[in-house]
Chain A
């Protein structure tokens, strides 16, 4: 499948003469050294990735690792210093003002951590804003806005003003605003980190539901690992501006690329993320292969009932072919590994 978003070798350097850094030996310096030497901050360093249509691509990292900067460079809210970016076959970096506007109006929508709602407009006018600046007639855009508000469960708040709503409701308005234009790609920059945990969970469910319903492609920034694991098809982990690991949730949890990633995933309940693939072993010679059969992609935790109900080890199968054996010991080891 053709990727919908493609970023390669993207750099963003802030500071004086920032464009003179990429391509020189200075670019290889650590972030702190670079700042010391040139006064510049390399917020994003040589980042490349691709996102497939319909995929949920999560970017994770500690505060200051460059996530927000990265996602903004995708639609040039922040002008990248170097690299190539294409969205839906469009060369974003080469786009002129009008084409860039067209991209932002029709193809991509963004949702912000601090909502960024227009305080002087009613909720419904906020949702209709994107349509308004495209020049859609008033009655049409208001009816579309009402429709979207219904989807996020806010039809009763249409006439209220942003400061009359709770944080969770405000972010729903932000989501509705982004959805109103039917974008192909949604960019979320830590959309729920300002919300309290219960509401955050609700919102995550909502986003999952919307994503499944619409099949939209999502780039989702977060520094909350459980959020990343819940939503992400693939996760990119950033540190000091660069991607240190990119993989599926189970790859990240099962095989952390370095200590930084390991620290991130240490507290993850592994049995809830890893599949049998990560805990199975090769059958021993002469071992009887007559235990229950489970798909190799089954989450470990979901294999526990089968394992408990049978004297024999579980067989992990891929297309009816036995690829490994999972016994109680390996599962217990996986669980025992949780919490470090």
Chain B
């Protein structure tokens, strides 16, 4: 399912036949630049950290003062208009979330479970309904019903509002080229910003609470809904639109009677993606007052790892159930495919009525029988309940104990791997970047950007890196950068390897697909949790998680790139008697260079998003600063680090975008 988005962004970027020479000359030039940086590092190590003359040292202090002022303004009796508006908005969203949560609780746990399952059954069919039922059962069995419901309420609000914004924008972009041209760069930019970096600004505007969680989630979840809706509207056959126009449809009639019904499946798949994007924010939304499962994960991370893992598992199951349910609904309710004639329509209406009646009856019965609002019932209400929570926690704990037992088999794999990554890759690179003279690093990276992507990206890189230095987080940013580079390197090696294998063998390709899909459905932080315990070597979990999050995209892009290599070239090489291996190494891989470059470009941004989240669990760097800012309320520090993450994201995107950006047309 997560294919839709990737599809949307890669369809237009098939590599061109004629090849630009970056593949030949550039590696040499880049190597030369790095060699020069290396020499400077050897010679002038530790002598030139970012000079304090060039740093704005009171910035943090100013920001803290700003926060005090903000708080005063916010709590003042006679607020000025801006604050009144923000406050009103915040109160509205807070109320919405609370109201949804109370509704789900009022329905009782039986009622909520039955209503969800029956609705999915009616619109999505039996299979999806069973998955939904299983998910509800898990919520109850883990004893995390109340938290799950809280998360569901938050999701309903965030997804609902995201769609309320995203679908109209998508429709507008689908119908008008101007709107699309205007929105594309905005959406592209939103994609570069790691979710972790805008938590801080959101907190500034909305302070901590459900509203902040909803808004942060919306920022992340709106872009896919816009993109996919636009794609759907534009995918309506031109013939059909033209025919409807020839009969004198108004613009509204065209939209409601032609474009929306025919794009309906795509729009619903957009809803599906929006939900998955929103769910992947649950955990970090927990940091800014989202509550629910996210909060359980966050508090468990430091104290009771088994609880964090259990809550993570519940989030994953919730994601899978929502994914399957919405996908099934999108497919099954497509009017162009289900061929509802009069008789079938009557049956369907009866079913709907029966389901509605069923839901009402179950809820009424549950209310009459005095079923509790959660399972197990809230404290004070006497009810006999059995959950598997204890049992599950013990199991998880025993697995944790096993993987952390130095005598276990798995430990003998993970420990050396972790240490290898740390000592052979991470630390040397970190030293190189952090301890090298600041000016060679700055100029070197700028020059790399120039060689790989051209003048403007190089200027952007220079400005962004300069800004990072000026705000006083140069060292932290270089630390994060080293983590990102190591993780990207590993992700690209794995991704290119598997991508080539998948392109050359149908079997591998088939086997990869479900793995890729699952890996991309999971919320980002959920990746990290297991590795905190599996590879308890400080920075490594964040890196491994980043690799896992990013490599599927590289695989997909490389596989695609190799497939799209013009058959003529391959055939011609074959005609000269080249072996399959020669065709691969001499023709296909060089020709697929653009796809690999695109993989690096997308992968590095995804890695950054995960690596900074690693700051929550001890990866250090900028992510740690943001985490401190959020958790401890170190405002100025958090804002600066957030900004630096953004600047780093833009830099990484510009450096790796290559010269291909011109051909990359967003929105479809």
Contact = CB atoms under 8 A, between A and B. Distances in A.
B253 A116 contact: no
Interface stretch (B208-216, B244-252, B640-648): B244-252
Contacts of B341: 122, 159-160
Nearest to B246: A110
Interface stretch (B114-122, B196-204, B257-265, B419-427): B257-265
A116 B240 contact: yes
A130 B257 CA distance: 11
Contact of B247 (A104, A119, A120, A159): A104
Contacts of B248: 100-106, 130, 133-134
Given A101-B248, A109-B247, A129-B244, A118 B258 contact: yes
B258 to A, nearest CB: 6
B387 to A, nearest CB: 46
Interface in B219-261: 237, 239-240, 242-250, 253, 257-258, 261
| Interface of B (DSSP majority class) | helix
Nearest to B250: A101
A59 B243 CA distance: 20
Given A114-B239, A116-B240, A77 B246 contact: yes
B632 interface: no
A304 B264 CA distance: 63
Nearest to B340: A122
B335 interface: yes
B384 interface: no
Contacts of A265: none
A161 interface: yes
Given A115-B239, A161-B339, A129 B262 contact: no
Interface string B477-493: 00000000000000000
B518 interface: no
Contact of B239 (A109, A116, A129, A161): A116
Contacts of A105: 247-248
B511 interface: no
B342 interface: yes
Given A117-B240, A119-B336, A133 B249 contact: yes
B141 to A, nearest CB: 42
Contacts of A108: 246
A272 interface: no
Q: Quick one: which of A114, A120, A160 has the most chain B CB within 10 A?
A: A120
Interface in B414-467: none
Nearest to B342: A159
Interface string B294-322: 00000000000000000000000000000
A116 B250 contact: no
Contacts of A122: 341
Given A77-B242, A161-B339, A164-B339, A116 B249 contact: no
A105 B247 CA distance: 5
Contacts of B262: 118-120
A110 B339 contact: no
Given A118-B262, A120-B262, A161-B339, A129 B247 contact: yes
B336 A75 contact: no
Given A105-B248, A109-B247, A133-B248, A116 B242 contact: yes
Contacts of A14: none
A120 B243 contact: no
B263 to A, nearest CB: 10
Contacts of A112: 239, 242-243, 246
Interface string A88-116: 00000000000011111110111010111
Given A101-B250, A105-B248, A133-B248, A117 B243 contact: yes
B246 A120 contact: no
Nearest to A174: B243
B335 A116 contact: no
A149 to B, nearest CB: 15
Interface in B353-401: none
B242 A133 contact: no
Contacts of B240: 116-119
Contacts of A120: 261-262, 264, 334-336
Given A120-B335, A120-B336, A122-B341, A133 B247 contact: yes
A116 B262 CA distance: 12
Contact of B245 (A77, A118, A121, A160): A77
Nearest to B264: A120
Contacts of A101: 248-250
A133 B239 contact: no
A100 B335 CA distance: 30
Contacts of A133: 244, 247-250, 253, 257
Q: Quick one: which of B239, B246, B250 has the most chain A CB within 10 A?
A: B246
Contacts of A161: 336, 339
Contacts of A77: 242, 245-246
Contacts of B250: 101, 133
Nearest to B334: A120
Q: Quick one: which of A109, A121, A181 has the most chain B CB within 10 A?
A: A121
A163 B262 CA distance: 14
A75 B336 CA distance: 29
Interface string A121-156: 110000001101110000000000000000000000
A133 B245 CA distance: 11
Contacts of B246: 75, 77, 104, 108-110, 112
A254 to B, nearest CB: 36
Contacts of B258: 118
Nearest to B247: A130
Contacts of B245: 77, 104
A178 to B, nearest CB: 8
A177 B243 CA distance: 10
A122 B242 CA distance: 19
Contact of A116 (B237, B339, B342): B237
A95 B237 CA distance: 27
Interface string A72-83: 000101000000
Q: Quick one: which of B240, B244, B334 has the most chain A CB within 10 A?
A: B240
Contacts of B335: 120-121
A30 to B, nearest CB: 29
A163 B240 CA distance: 14
Nearest to A107: B248
A200 to B, nearest CB: 19
A213 B249 CA distance: 28
A116 B242 CA distance: 7
A159 B346 CA distance: 14
A191 to B, nearest CB: 12
A13 to B, nearest CB: 19
Interface in A155-191: 159-161, 163-164, 174, 177, 181
A94 B237 CA distance: 29
A177 B244 CA distance: 11
B559 to A, nearest CB: 31
A103 B245 CA distance: 12
A134 B253 CA distance: 10
A105 B246 CA distance: 8
B248 to A, nearest CB: 4
Contacts of A134: 248
A181 B248 CA distance: 11
23 contacts: A77-B246, A100-B248, A101-B248, A102-B248, A104-B246, A104-B247, A104-B248, A105-B247, A108-B246, A112-B239, A112-B243, A115-B243, A116-B243, A116-B244, A118-B262, A120-B262, A120-B264, A120-B336, A121-B335, A129-B244, A129-B257, A159-B342, A160-B339
Given A108-B246, A119-B262, 18 more contacts: A77-B245, A77-B246, A100-B248, A103-B248, A109-B247, A116-B240, A116-B242, A116-B243, A116-B244, A118-B240, A119-B336, A121-B335, A130-B247, A130-B248, A133-B248, A133-B253, A133-B257, A134-B248
Q: Which 5 A-B pairs have the closest CB atoms?
A: A116-B243, A105-B248, A104-B248, A120-B335, A116-B239
Interface of B: 237, 239-240, 242-250, 253, 257-258, 261-262, 264, 334-336, 339, 341-342
